[in-house]
Amino acid sequence: MPASGSLIDVLKKTSLFAALSSVELEALARRASIHSCQTGEVLFAEGEPCAGLYVVASGRIRIFKTSAGGREQVLAIEGEGSSVAELPVFDGGPYPASVAAVEPSELVFISRKEFQTLCLEHPEVGLKVLQVVGARLRRLVEIIEELSFTTVRHRLIAWVLRRTRTDGTTFHLGASQQELAAEIGTVRELVSRNLTRLHAQGFIAINGREITVLDPAGLQAELTSSV
């Protein structure tokens, strides 16, 4: 378990708690605990009662829904400093989606009761939660639109362009092609086929698991023309 100082540093880097004072962060850290999980380990499953929320201290997690037939739809992949399960902490409902580790990860757990008490004492934290939930809602609307109205090629190009905005024109694939397929609502074979096609057309270069975007303007034009 990290030293108290390390735990405070993790909480301070999270947007939910960035506005808290050192004394407040110390009080929160005393009420928090560390949970370690290995690759593929499920942190909690959709439909389970909400015990509290988590902050990613290290590693990456994926938030996903599973159909009755067992097919996954990845809603988001979150890394260090992100929080998850804020909404059910407030509304008292079960976890609306499942969360599993993409790689060995450490998460800070804060119980529902402790978090609600914190929000009553510090309303600005509640406003931060609304910002996070609002951003997730916007992304869910984008996912619905993409799955309803676009092709696999369109969704893959949109994913590549989102990565360039956050990580630059050269980035590591990170997720496996299977995980990427789940994120954009398709199967691994179609991801592989479309990546190969984009490479052959000169839009991207592929070196192992590293992707370099050679023609972002061309990809954007492809995205616009396929709408």
Position 160 confidence tier, pLDDT thresholds 50, 70, 90: very high
Q: Is the pTM of this model over 0.75?
A: no
Quick check: is 140 in a domain? no
Check residue 183 and give its pLDDT. 80
User: Is residue 113 domain-shared with residue 211, that is, in the same domain?
Assistant: no
Cα separation, 198 vs 213, whole angstroms: 10
User: Is residue 115 domain-shared with residue 178, that is, in the same domain?
Assistant: no
Check residue 175 and give its pLDDT. 66
Kindly state the average pLDDT of the residues 9-30: 85
Determine the distance from the C-alpha atom of residue 220 to the mean position of all C-alpha atoms in its chain, rounded to a whole number: 23
Quick check: is 138 in a domain? no
Tell me, what amino acid is at 214? L
Quick check: is 145 in a domain? no
Could you give the number of structural domains in the chain?
2
Q: Which three-class secondary structure state does DSSP give residue 179?
A: helix
Q: Convert the pLDDT of each residue in 120-153 to its tens digit.
A: 888 887 787 788 778 777 877 877 777 777 888 9
User: DSSP string of 21-47?
Assistant: -HHHHHHHHHH-EEEEE-TT-EEE-TT
